[in-house]
Amino acid sequence: ISICRDLPNIEVITFSVNGISDLEPLNQCQNLSELYLRKNNITSLNELFYLKKLPRLRVLWLSENPCCGSDPHRYRMTVLRNLPSLQKLDNQAVTEEELSQALVDGEEITVPPARRSVENGCLESTESSAAESTMESERELLNFSLEETNKIREELGMKPVRRDKFSSFSPGETDCNRKKRNNILNAVLLLMKELDAEGLEIVQQTVGRRLQAFRKKELQEE
């Protein structure tokens, strides 16, 4: 989600089922009002540190992440103590009573989560490794990305991608590289939505040239 650093005016972000563990890039999105992060790999509530300075954030969906833990009351109180401007958390309206109770039962987050760099440029929390994506999550991500990809290709007048082509990865591709590939794809799709007709035409021409180059290379290899 590093692309968010270059989208300071974005208002709604949907990153559910994306294997996300780091929310630091979002602290630049000062106009963000709705953030959907259901079913990711966010392991620590300290990630809320990066959302505390977003003045317009009103809707947050964070459920089904490891950071929610086994105590739903403590989780909700901690989120509301640190993000008291929320009007809805996990599709449930926030009440004045909850905000008052959060000052007692919630934990104040004052520092960002500690991290360590790992091989291939991936980041992990020092508290625990990010949980592996479940088969269900991978299927949801695939369906979402495939649908979005084909929607963009249709707008560009291109043929849709077949599922077997979209989901194939090289045998030697690591899990880290696979996540990078998905993140890059989602970033491209996100930026495509910001383009006007002229911008999309430029992308169409560029994509066409790239595809021709790939096809030429494939024919030479055969």
In tens, the pLDDT along 141-153 reads 455 555 666 666 6
Domain annotation for the chain: domains and CATH numbers: 2-105 (3.80.10.10), 184-221 (no CATH)
pLDDT digits (tens, 9 = 90+) for 176-204: 666 666 666 666 766 776 777 777 788 78
pLDDT digits (tens, 9 = 90+) for 59-111: 999 999 999 999 999 999 999 999 999 999 998 999 999 999 999 999 999 99
Least confident of 80-89, 166-175, 209-218: 166-175
| Mean pLDDT computed over every residue of the chain | 77
3-state helix, strand, coil in the chain (%, to 5): 50, 10, 40
pLDDT at 128 over 60: no
Q: What is the pLDDT of residue 30?
A: 92
pLDDT band at 175 (very low <50, low <70, confident <90, very high): low
| Structure token digits, residue 135 | 């088969």
Q: What is the pLDDT of residue 155?
A: 62
How many C-beta atoms surround the C-beta of residue 196 within 10 A? 7
pLDDT band at 135 (very low <50, low <70, confident <90, very high): very low
- Which residues are bridge partners to 213 per DSSP? none
